[in-house]
Structures are given as structure tokens and as C-alpha cells.
Structure 1
Amino acid sequence: MARGALSGLRHDLITDAFAFRPMEPLREGHPLLGLVPRRFRGYARWLPHAVLTGFALFLMFVSAESYGGPGGAVMAVLAGVPLLTTMFRPIGAWWLSVGAAVLTGVIFFESWSSTWPWTDAGFVSHLAVMSVVAARTRTRVAAEMWLLTAVLALSFQPLSHSYGADPFIMIFLSGLVLFVVSTVRGLRQSRREVAAQVAVTEVERTRRTLLEERTTIARELHDVVAHHMSVIAIQAEAAPYRVENPPEELTRSFSIIRENAVVALTELRRVLGVVRAEDYQAPDAPQPTLADLDRLVANVRDAGLEVERTVTGAARELPQGVELSAYRIIQEALSNTLRHAPGASAKVEVSYVLGGLGLRVVNGPPRGLVKPSPGAGHGIAGMRERVAMLSGEMTDGPTEDGGYEVAVFIPVAGERA
């Protein structure tokens, strides 16, 4: 244990003690920068450096005025230089402060005071140096500095009583200051770690939501694609019997079509079986389409949401995948309105245009208490996933009156604008 403690002490305070470690300016978004006009924020980032420099110059001025002459100049240097050095070489600055105390106590006898071997200005400077170093290093370094400072103060104890000095003043105050600084630094570091962990968790949650949404889309499209493949297989098998004496080549072609359809259907079921949960059961009813939109609106109205539905353009049958995704997008948008805008009204617009299908769901501002939702924003991610699957476009965002709008365009192959 002793060997390990000495090894850690050597690593923290001796190895590369004077290495260049510049103090970084305030980061962007720091609360203090918000109090400064925007055009001065570039300069305000160096506020810690300016404060340290001003405080060091103040201590140097006090030392020079207290002692006067060449001795005052030396005392000013011993009090100010270590504090200025903390901005570039923090561990080395602490050693300079220790050396200044030893030099003051051994050589400059006229500097004896109640804080001996430190002068009054040197006493404050040493506390400030340890505070800055503790704020820039880990807690173990603060403990090591306090122990060595205590050893330094006790080393002069035999002479301290002769001159009315009490070394325990430095031991107590330095311990108190280092404890406060280390505690504040630990709390800030914990908050940063928690914030980073929350950000990682949010990213993972969003990724998991996308994977779940893709799995849901795959399950739904399985029924759509399987239905079409089954129709192809049945039609290919029945087609030769609808023609009297069909050519052998035609019969063989339909037979090949049917075999390929059956093989594709088997492979489709095998692949989709991977994304199906063990307890997943295929729905008994067919997948919903835009024809079922009236039923969805009625259900939402029963839940307390006032919905206005508008259909523009000539309604026509679209591919099942498009209609299913359009239905799910509207369903999710209305669910978000119920969840995040209680008491608001909503409008649903379905536009059949040349080249595709347009959707717009907009709700007004909430009129009731909005409760926090742990999954906020993930419904939007699911919508984007469906739109991206169909090579469509989607925009969403708050409206001027405090509501929310979702606009989607889904292109339909084979139709031209």
C-alpha cells in the first residue's frame, strides 16, 4: 500500500509536473456567456483567465506595498508568479508556491507573521493555487497537495510558536477549501456524465424505435405481399384451363410462373419469420386502408378529439402498401395529438393528386395540461421511416398558433404529374 501510494504521488505531482496544460476557455453554452451580449461572448470566454490574472496582480501589488524596496518586489513575484502559472502548468505552479513558502520561511526572516512561513499575501496565493489546481485535476491530487502542505506547515512548527504563528490555520483552511472545490467539481462531473448517459440512452431508444417500426412495417407488408403472390400463383395455375386447347408453351410458362410464385412466397415467409416475435400472431382482419379512415376518425372522436376530415381530388385505389402506410401515418399523427395536445382540435387532409398521394394532419394548441411523455418524438421517427420506405417526402414542425403540423407526399409508381 505504501509503495502504491508513493507511486501515485510520484505520478501525480512529480512526473511531468511542469508539462504544458493550458486552461481552456469557457465552453459554448456556458450560463455565464448568456449574460454577456453576443458580440462580446468571444472575449467573455476568457473570463477565468482575466480573473486569475487580476487577482495575481492584486496580490503582487499588496506584497510590494507591504514590504517596499527590493524585498517587496521579491515578495510580489513569490506571491503572483505561482498563481499566474496555474493557467499553463498547474502542478508546476503548486511546486512554485511550495518553493516560495520555503524561501520565505528560511531566508526572509522579516516576513514572519501569523501565517509564517507564508506571508499574508503568500498565504492567500497558496490557497488560490491549490483551489485552481484541484479544479483542474482529480480528487486524489487535491488530497496529495493537502498532505504535503500539512507536512510543510508542521515542519516549521518548532519555530512557529516563537513568532506567534499557527501552522494549523493553513492545514484547516486548505483542507476546507480543497474539500469544497473537489465536491463542486465532482458534482459537475457527475452531471456531465449523467447528461452524456441520457444522450446515449436517447440515441439508443430512437434506434430501437426505428428497428421496432421497421419490424412492424415488415409484418404488415408481409400480409400485403403474400396476398399478391398467392393471387399470382392461383391465377397462373387456373389460366391454362380458361383457354380451350392451350399451346404447350403457354401451359409451361404458366407452370413456371406458378412455381416461381410459390418459391418466392415460401422464401418471403421464411425471411419474415426472422422479424416476427415468438408471440406474434397475424391479424385476422385484412390490413387497413384509406377506405377505413372514417372508422379511425370516429374512434378518435369517441376518445374526445374533435377531428375535421377533408378529401380533395378524385379518390382512387392505390397500391396496398401506400394505403396502409398512409393510414398508419394519419393514425400516429392523431395519436400524438391526443397524447401531446389535450383539448385541441385536428384537421386531416387527404389529397389525391397526379403522381401520388398528399397527407396533412394539423392540430391546434393544447388547451389542457400537457403531461410529460417518455416516448416523445418517437412517433415522428416511425412516420419518417414509413415515408422513406416509399421514397416520399415529409415535413413536420410547430405552427404559428402553437399547434403542430405533419405534411407527407407519397409518390405512386406509374402515375405522372
Structure 2
Amino acid sequence: MTDATKTDTGGNRSPEFRLAIGALAGLRQDLFRDAFAYRPLQPMRTDGALTRRLPARIRPYAGWAPHAALAVAAFFTVLLGYADDSIGLDYVITGIVPAATILMTLIRPIGAWWLLLAVTPFAGAVGNPWGEQPWPSSVFFAHITVMTVITLRTRPRTAAWMWVGTALYGTVAELAFSPGYGSNTPQMLFFSALALLAASLVHIRREAQREVSVQRTVTEVERGRRTLLEERTTIARELHDVVAHHMSVVAIQAEAAPYRVENPPPELEQAFVTIRENAVAALTELRRVLGVVRAEDYEAPDAPQPTLADLDRLIANVRETGLDVEKVVTGAVRELPQGVELSAYRIVQEALSNTLRHAPGATARVEVGYVLGGLGLRIVNGPATGLVKPSPGAGHGLTGMRERVTMLDGAMTTGETADGGYEVTVFLPVASASEPTGGQE
């Protein structure tokens, strides 16, 4: 038989046959494969709605509540076994072993079910408080408890297989061991079905909540990445004008430099030609890269990029919205690189925008410090007055500020103040070659 024939034969199997094969594969995976594998029950989480209400000294122990509940169930099974039979070898079968299988679900859940099912015929032979019935009271309780725990720890499909196995055993036990007597198998099937249904619903709900939590985490991560890319793209667009201006100046000066010297040597002329060609090539590549990150509807600004000299206009506009802003400048004011000036302006702009959104009615203070080796910024606002509802915003502000600071190898700290406000502190390093050119403001 060729491979093609085999494929056709497999593909022509009836849906019922494929369903049966899939069911047997599920049975083997759920109840036979690694049935006695070591699967310890981990403590449950203590950050739920119920556990958070517990006293702080008790909350750490709440995670062991399932283990304690199974220990109580095992003790109750021991008591039921003692009521079924007197203390002796029979009591070990009707009380000790069923109780041990309940505790066994803590480490080997599927193996516990098989062990209990194996000991059930012996327990039914020696202890029957309801007559010649296949399920003594201790085994009855232990069997439902074990199946419920396994369902909570595995999957609803396993519950279905265990219920089917229980029904098959009950039917065989009635026919082989206690014909003509009353049977408690219908009661076993009814109560176990209720317990397994409830456990399956709990398991499905718990898995759904976990899936939602995972999806929410993935969504937040993706949103953070998208925000970061958007902020970096914005920074690249803004810095284009700054870099393009400098490269254009280099190209123009390199072209004009040979005419400033009488009879320049050919080597000097060639050097300036090379400088100009490299500047023009770099400018062309810069514009090509910017074209990649530009949106389709992006329009280059007509006005030049803002600098620290435009802070007064920015603060005046913010004051018109009702925010009381105070500006303080310390140190010797000097001209800084355009990239630093632009980033400093944008950081102050975003910090004041955050104040308007998150602390309406508060006061703000902008401190600009020209220090040795760099520029210091501190934007602090007081708490909201409560007269206007804060706006949540898009969450891009701090991300954009951090990207600008990182781009300039600076440092940034943020956090709440003692009075309930918020503070943003930034240091942007500047090359020491920049000397003060003005007086103190």
C-alpha cells in the first residue's frame, strides 16, 4: 500500500470513528499518561478580594487554605470509616486508605483516584452501613472529594472520564458483587455529577480570568511599545530641523571657505570639496530616513523649533487656561545646543500639560538651572483642588520625556511630593566647551 493510499484511507474515515479515536486519546492523556506523576498543589494567591480583607498577620497563611480543607476532609473520612466498622484491618480499608487518597490529591491527584477505585471493592466487601452496596459511606465521601479536587486541578474533560469510570465500576459491582440488593450507585452518580459540574464551572471561570489577565498584560505591553515608537518618531521628526540646519551650514561654509583665502592650495580646496560632498550626502540620507518615519498626513512645521527662549510664551498660554505657573531661572543663562534647547522646552511643555490633565486647579513651578556641565529642570505642581475632575490622558507624557532625556544621556526622576503633588526633575548634560554668554536672569 502506498503512502497516498494510506492517506486516502485515513481521510475517508467516518466522523464517528475519528471522534472515537480522539476520545480514546483524551482518555489516555487524562487518566493513564503519567497517572502517578508528582504534581504538588501550590498555595493559592492571597491578593484576591476575600483574602485582602483578612488581618495582615493571618493573610500569609490563607494560601494554605485548600491544604487545610483537604486535611479536614480526610479526618472526616476517618470518622466515617470508624462508624462503618470496628477498629482493625477492615478499618484500615474503610477509613485510613480512603482518607489517605484525599491527602494524596495534594501531590499525585490522578493516582489518588486510581488507588481509591482499586480499594473500593475491598471496602465494599467489609463495610456496608446501607446494606450490600458497592459504596460504603467513607468511600462514597472520599470518591466525590477526590474527583472534585482533580477537576479543580486539571480540566473538565478529566471530570467526564472519571464520572464515566465511576458509572462503569458501579454497574459492574452491582452485577458481580451485590445482585438483588439495594444499590447506592445512582446516588453516587447524582451527587458526583453535581460536584463535578460545580467544580468544572469554577475551573472554567478561573481559566477565563487567567486568560483575560494574560491578554490584558499583553495588551499593556503592546500599548507601551507602540507609545514608545510613536514618541521616538516624534522626536526624530523634531530633531530633523535641528540636524538639517547644522548640516546645511557645514555644506555652505565648506563651499565658501576656499574663496576666503587668496590662492588656496589644491589640497585645501579638495578637502573643502570633500567636506561639502559628505555634508550634502548626510543631509540627503537624513531626509530619506525621516521620510520612512513620517506619517502619510505629516506636514513639516513652518515655524522654527522652539527653544528655552520661548518658555515665557508657553507659560503665558498655560496661565490663560487657569493654571498658576511660576518660573524661576538660576545660573548664568547661555545658549545651549539646539537639541538640548528643544528637548528642554518639550519636557516643560509636557510636564505642564500633565499638570493640567491630572491636577486641575493646582499651582505649578518651573525651575530652570544653568549649571556647570549641563541644564537642570524641575517642574513641580501641588495637589488638585478637587473642583475639576482630572483627565486620565493617553499616558504618553512620561514616556516621551524619558526618551528625550535618554537620547541626550541625561537623568530623570519623577514622583509624588509630600503635599500630594507631583515632581519631575531632569538633568541634561552639555559639553563643557559651552561657555556662558549672558548674565543672570
TM-score by length of 1: 0.90
| CA distances 1:206-256 after superposition (whole Å, capped 9, x unpaired) | 112111111111111111111111112222222333445545444443333
State the match for 2:31 in structure 1. Answer: 13
Instruction: Indicate if the aligned counterparts of 2:129 and 2:137 stay in contact, CA closer than 8 A.
Output: no
2:271 aligned residue: 253
CA distance in 2 between partners of 1:136 and 1:408 (Å):
51
Residue 398 of structure 2 aligns to a residue in which SS?
helix
Supply the distance in 2 between the matched residues of 1:415 and 1:48 (Cα, whole angstroms).
68
Is 1:212 the counterpart of 2:223? The answer is: no
CA contact (8 A) 2:131 2:182 kept: yes
The alignment status of 1:177 with 2:195, answered yes or no, reads: yes
CA distance in 2: counterparts of 1:37 and 1:251, whole angstroms: 83
Matches within 5 A, 1:15-414: 15-27=33-45, 29=47, 34=52, 45-70=63-88, 71-105=90-124, 107-108=125-126, 110-113=127-130, 116-156=133-173, 163-368=181-386, 370=389, 373=392, 375-376=394-395, 378-414=396-432
Code of the aligned partner of 1:88: I
The alignment partner of 1:406 has SS state of: strand
Q: How far apart, in 1, do the equivalents of 2:385 and 2:198 lie?
A: 47
Give the superposition deviation at 1:342.
Answer: 2.2
| Separation of aligned partners in 2, 1:82 and 1:115 | 23
- The letter of the residue matching 1:203 is V
Q: What amino acid sits opposite 1:111 in the alignment? A: N
Letter in 1 for 2:117: V
C-alpha change, 1:361 and 1:115, in structure 2 (3 Å) is farther
Question: % of aligned pairs identical?
Answer: 59
Relative to structure 1, the CA distance from residue 115 to residue 336 in structure 2 (aligned partners, 3 Å threshold; closer, same or farther) is: farther
Separation of aligned partners in 2, 1:244 and 1:303: 60
CA distance in 2, matches of 1:238, 1:232: 10
Question: Shift in Å at residue 41 of structure 1?
Answer: 6.5
Mapped contact 2:134–2:174 kept (Cα < 8 A): no
Following superposition, the deviation at residue 356 of structure 1 comes to 0.7
Q: How many pairs are equivalent?
A: 414
Counterpart residue identity of residue 2, structure 1? A
Cα 1:114–1:408 change in 2 (3 A) is: farther
8 Å Cα contact 1:357-1:410 kept in structure 2: yes
How far did residue 370 of structure 1 move? Answer: 4.7
- Larger deviation: 43-52 or 2-11? 43-52
Once the two structures are overlaid, the 10-residue window that deviates more, 143-152 or 241-250, is 241-250
- How far off its partner does 1:15 sit? 2.5
Residues 372, 141 of structure 1: CA spacing in aligned structure 2 closer, same or farther, 3 A cutoff? farther
Q: 2:118 is aligned with what amino acid? A: G
- Cα distance in structure 1, aligned partners of 2:152 and 2:132: 24
Give, in whole Å, the separation in 2 of the partners of 1:176 and 1:278. 60
Question: 1:156, CA displacement in angstroms?
Answer: 4.8
Contact preservation (8 Å) 1:22, 1:87: yes
After superposition, the Cα gap between the structure-2 partners of 1:374 and 1:4, relative to the gap in structure 1 and judged at 3 Å, is farther
1:74-94 Cα offsets, whole Å, 9 max, x none, are 311243122111112111111
TM-score (norm 2): 0.86
Amino acid in the other structure paired with 1:138: R
SS in structure 2 of the partner of residue 111 of structure 1: coil
Distance 1:374 1:8, change over 3 A: farther
Report if the CA contact (8 A) 2:77-2:95 is conserved: yes
Separation (CA, whole Å) in 2 of partners of 1:373 and 1:278? 28
- The structure-2 alpha-carbon separation of the partners of 1:82 and 1:224, relative to structure 1 and needing over 3 Å to count, comes to same
Structure 1 pair 209–143 and aligned structure 2 pair: CA distance change class (3 A): same
SS at match of 1:69: coil
Q: Note if contact 1:354-1:415 (Cα within 8 Å) is conserved in structure 2.
A: no
Deviation at 1:143, TM superposition (A): 1.2
RMSD (Å), alpha carbons: 2.7
Give the AA of the match of 1:62.
Answer: L
User: Hey, what's the Cα distance between the residues in 1 that align with 2:92 and 2:195?
Assistant: 28
2:166 partner amino acid? T
- C-alpha change, 1:390 and 1:406, in structure 2 (3 Å) is same
**Is the alpha carbon distance of 1:229 and 1:114 closer, same or farther for their aligned partners in structure 2, counting shifts above 3 Å?**
farther
Partner Cα distance (1:56, 1:193) in 2: 33
For residue 37 of structure 2, give the secondary structure of its aligned residue in structure 1.
Answer: coil
CA contact (8 A) 1:290 1:326 kept: yes
Aligned-pair CA distance for 1:52: 1.3
2 CA distance for matches of 1:374 and 1:143?
49
Distance 1:326 1:285 in 2: 18
Which AA in structure 2 matches 1:99?
A: A
